[in-house]
Structure 1
Amino acid sequence: MTAARVRHARPEDLERVAELAAEHAVYEKSPPPAPGLADRLARLLFGPEPTRLRCLVAELPDGTLAGYATCAPELSTWDAAEYLHLDCLYLSPTQRGLGLGPLFITALHTEARALGLTELQWQTPAWNEGAIRFYDRLGATSKPKLRYFLPVDPG
């Protein structure tokens, strides 16, 4: 039997990624993504002027997508350097604890190295004890911070 793998998303994956993102929002007690997420992701990832966003998916041996991760290079003023910011990492509940998380982290390290970056950063809700245990087992360190959101008026 072929093993599960993490690979870059393809355009045909984006409807499933949007479904997983909706599950992720529910899990994190957040509002769901606005309708049309798959189309917006397609423009960001595969449009005529793709952005720096990257999307990885966990593919099971039967072709099912069990999770996704999105990341993009960001800047650290204090380090005067770029790092890879992991924005989202989500696995379907039935696929947690089966080794896909470490596959994602390995793929994210590979992505960072390919971009010439030397650090990977992310955040998780303080109540997400399973994720915190996983990240601690990786040897990652954390800094307590609050994340703020301020909408920008388009007009």
Structure 2
Amino acid sequence: MIRAATVHDVPEIRAMIRELAAYEKAAEQARATAGQLRAALFGEHPAASVLIAGDDTTGAVVGFALWFPRFSTWTGTRGVYLEDLYVRPHARGAGHGRALLAALAAICRENGFERFEWAVLDWNEPAIAFYRALGAEFLEEWTVCRLTGAPLEELAARAPAVVRRAP
């Protein structure tokens, strides 16, 4: 069972984000509060969307996919970027992850989106094998870049006086 998340799912989404962060050996980095998630997912200008995987028998939440639209200057079309995909350990192997990805692929198809992208940690062999089995292309020539903390602040301090704020 795959469905769109509701505001009532925020506690479960937050819990799964923390579970995912612990699995990825970065539990201390999962600092999002329930209020932040509620605003980001269900506020006036949502930043992302979430699909929920539920157990077919009990309806219990067993996984989620958090995604947002992207834009490709090369194709001139939008796409989907999957930020988080997580299925709780007891529910793995039952098809929930595949169902979440299939639902996102269907969103792409229905909206004319040409790309569905995500990142995977290079040590996460089970996930890599899963994605390879789906036919995912691994863009090894691309490296993810990130600015946070002091480097982000230092670069922002060098911004010209007139900077348009993001929506």
**TM norm. shorter chain > 0.5:** yes
Q: How does 1:50-65 map to 2 (within 5 A)?
A: 50-60=45-55, 61-65=57-61
Question: Max radius of gyration: which structure?
Answer: 2
Match of 2:114?
118
Whether the 8 Å CA contact 2:66–2:83 is kept in 1: the answer is yes
Structure-1 separation of matches of 2:10 and 2:130: 26
Say if 1:88 and 1:51 are closer, same or farther in 2 by CA, change over 3 A: same
Over aligned residues, Cα RMSD in angstroms? 1.7
Which structure's residues are more often helix, by fraction?
A: 2
Whether the 8 Å CA contact 2:52–2:65 is kept in 1: the answer is yes
Match of 1:42?
38
Give the stretch that moved more between structures: 64-73 or 142-151: 142-151
Q: How does 1:5-154 map to 2 (within 5 A)?
A: 5-30=1-26, 31-34=28-31, 36=33, 38-47=34-43, 49-60=44-55, 61-144=57-140, 145-151=142-148, 152-153=152-153
Identity fraction in percent? 32
Q: Where does structure 2 lack aligned partners over 5 or more consecutive residues? A: 158-167
Say if 1:86 and 1:9 are closer, same or farther in 2 by CA, change over 3 A: same
The amino acid that maps onto 1:27 is: Y
Q: What is the Cα deviation at residue 104 of structure 1?
A: 0.6
Higher relative contact order (CA 8 A, sep 6+): 1
TM-score, normalised relative to structure 1:
0.87
Structure-2 separation of matches of 1:56 and 1:21: 13
Q: What is the Cα deviation at residue 148 of structure 1?
A: 2.3
Name segments (4+ residues, structure 1) moved above 4 Å. Answer: none
Secondary structure of the equivalent of 2:129? helix
Q: What is the Cα deviation at residue 136 of structure 1?
A: 0.8
Give the stretch that moved more between structures: 127-136 or 113-122: 113-122
Structure-1 separation of matches of 2:24 and 2:65: 15
Q: What is the Cα deviation at residue 77 of structure 1?
A: 2.9
Structure-1 separation of matches of 2:2 and 2:111: 18
TM-score, normalised relative to structure 2:
0.81
Whether the 8 Å CA contact 1:6–1:59 is kept in 2: the answer is yes
Q: Where does structure 1 lack aligned partners over 5 or more consecutive residues? A: none
